[in-house]
Structure 1
Amino acid sequence: MLAHLERVEALLASWGGRPALRAAGLCHAFYGTDGFPLQLLNLEHRADLAEAIGADAEALAYLYASCDRKATYRTFAEDDGMLLDRFTGARVQPNLGQRRDLAELTAANELDLAAISPKIRTEYGASLLGLFTRWRPLLSASAWAHCRDVLG
């Protein structure tokens, strides 16, 4: 797991990601995710993680972890794209910067897994490429190029 987290952070850095985004990449699975239910850190310790990596990075790590993917991903790139918080059930409207950060973090996570696993590329590559194509307006040029390299 640590190797994956470090690769996600490094990938975000290679795309020119700001420090808070890179820190969120290193900690993106701490609260578990919609696709990875194991929590490395309980939500009651959010303040501790914020102290360690910064409030902005922790807020992004929480946003990533809280995202109900099925309810969120389809329309997330739209101007009024909403995120369903799987922990609280609340619908949240992230601002454009948060949507871009979440898109980059999602791409880095999924592309890292796809790059090291032919099985993941075979099973999920087409749907991931479709998702990132819809999210293209939110992705940096570097992230989009990496999407095409790994999935295209």
Structure 2
Amino acid sequence: MRADAEAERLLLAKGADRVEHPGGTLLAHLRRVHAVLGDWGARPELRLAGLCHAFYGTDGFATALGARTRREELSRVIGAEAERLVYLYASCDRSRSYPHLASPDGPFTDRFTGTALRPPAADRRDFAELTVANELDVMAASPELRAAHGDSLAELFTAWRPLLSPSAIRAVRAFRR
């Protein structure tokens, strides 16, 4: 069975189809992010991370489907690299990490441990790409959230331009209009 199908089975077993999220359910959102990353030409590991990015909850969405103390559960399904990206995404302390993401030596703070990390450029690019796909989906699903956060996200994503794929840059430009 393909990893994305196995991941969807795990997400269903964890109740992602019963968790409310802008635009319907968490599972619907996760599927849309996965699809957008695929449309943008993301590699399989990043697409799988997109499908499972909220597995441990996030700084902006507290509901966790799985325990970060049992990371092997998700890793067995989507692979170590994709799971590592899911953890990176979940662990991000947004207020302390977002402003410095485009800086090669900027700190990335793990909200679970408080540790300031220095992720390599490839991880910063993956994180930025996943974040843009996620937030653009949320903004499209919720006019209220877009009104409250759209301008600041557009400004942030413009600052992250060096990290983004051409497809993500086009999506950010379209979002700004």
TM normalised by structure 1 equals 0.97
Q: Tell me if the contact between 1:32 and 1:38 (Cα under 8 Å) persists in the aligned partners.
A: yes
In the alignment, which residue of structure 2 is the partner of 1:140? 165
Q: Tell me if the contact between 2:33 and 2:137 (Cα under 8 Å) persists in the aligned partners.
A: yes
In the alignment, which residue of structure 2 is the partner of 1:3? 28
User: Unaligned 5+ residue runs, structure 2?
Assistant: 1-25
User: Unaligned 5+ residue runs, structure 1?
Assistant: none
In the alignment, which residue of structure 2 is the partner of 1:28? 53
The within-5 A match list for 1:2-151 is 2-151=27-176
TM normalised by structure 2 equals 0.84
The structure with more radius of gyration: 2
- What is the aligned length? 152
Rounded Cα–Cα distance in structure 2 between residues aligned with 1:31 and 1:89 = 16
Q: Tell me if the contact between 1:100 and 1:138 (Cα under 8 Å) persists in the aligned partners.
A: yes
Please provide the CA RMSD for this pair: 0.8
User: Identity rate of aligned residues, in percent?
Assistant: 56
Rounded Cα–Cα distance in structure 1 between residues aligned with 2:118 and 2:40 = 25
| 1:56-99 superposed Cα distances (whole Å, 9 cap, x missing partner) | 00000000000000000011101112210011111111000000
Runs of 4+ in 1 over 6 A off after TM superposition: none
Rounded Cα–Cα distance in structure 2 between residues aligned with 1:145 and 1:117 = 21
Q: Tell me if the contact between 1:121 and 1:151 (Cα under 8 Å) persists in the aligned partners.
A: no
| 1:109-138 superposed Cα distances (whole Å, 9 cap, x missing partner) | 000011122222211110000100110000
Q: Tell me if the contact between 1:114 and 1:150 (Cα under 8 Å) persists in the aligned partners.
A: no
Rounded Cα–Cα distance in structure 2 between residues aligned with 1:33 and 1:151 = 25
In the alignment, which residue of structure 1 is the partner of 2:9? none
Name the SS for the 2:104 alignment partner.
coil
